[in-house]
Each structure stands twice: as C-alpha cells, then as structure tokens.
C-alpha cells in the first residue's frame, strides 16, 4: 500500500511510530513489517523507515 503525503508536510520517525500504534493489524498475518517514507523532492531521495512486528492481529513490538 502506498500513502501520499502533501508536499508541505514534514515527516519524522516518530510519525511512523505513531502510525504503527494506530494500525488495525487484525487482518495482517503474523510477521515483520516496515513503514517507509521517501522524500522524492530532495535530490538525495532521503528516507525514513520504522520496523514493527504483528502477532495475532496486534502490533506487538515497536522499535525504540
């Protein structure tokens, strides 16, 4: 799934962690997942990632 963010938004790792906490994981299979944010406006194409686990339909482990 891809979610587009408006150009004037500033995304940080804490935003990805907050999204993982709010995620309805009830239909996701158990396993490891990552959220990624890629900045295509910047010529360096900077990115941020956030790793978490899902078990029994719940987000159970969040990177610190």
pLDDT for 23-36, tens place per residue? 999 999 999 998 88
3-state class of 59 per DSSP?
Answer: strand
Each of the 64 residues of the chain gets a pLDDT tens digit; together they read: 566 666 667 788 888 888 888 999 999 999 999 888 887 777 777 888 899 999 999 998 766 5
Half-sphere exposure of 3 (CA within 13 A, CB side): 8
Q: What is the phi/psi pair of residue 14, to 5°?
A: -60, -30
Domain segments of the chain as ranges: 13-62
């Amino acid at each position: 799934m891809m979610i587009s963010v408006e150009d004037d938004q500033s995304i940080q790792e804490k935003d990805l962690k907050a999204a993982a906490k709010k995620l309805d994981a009830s239909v996701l299979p158990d396993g490891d997942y990552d959220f990624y944010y890629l900045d295509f406006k910047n010529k360096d194409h900077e990115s941020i990632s956030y790793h978490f686990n899902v078990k029994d339909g719940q987000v159970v482990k969040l990177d610190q």
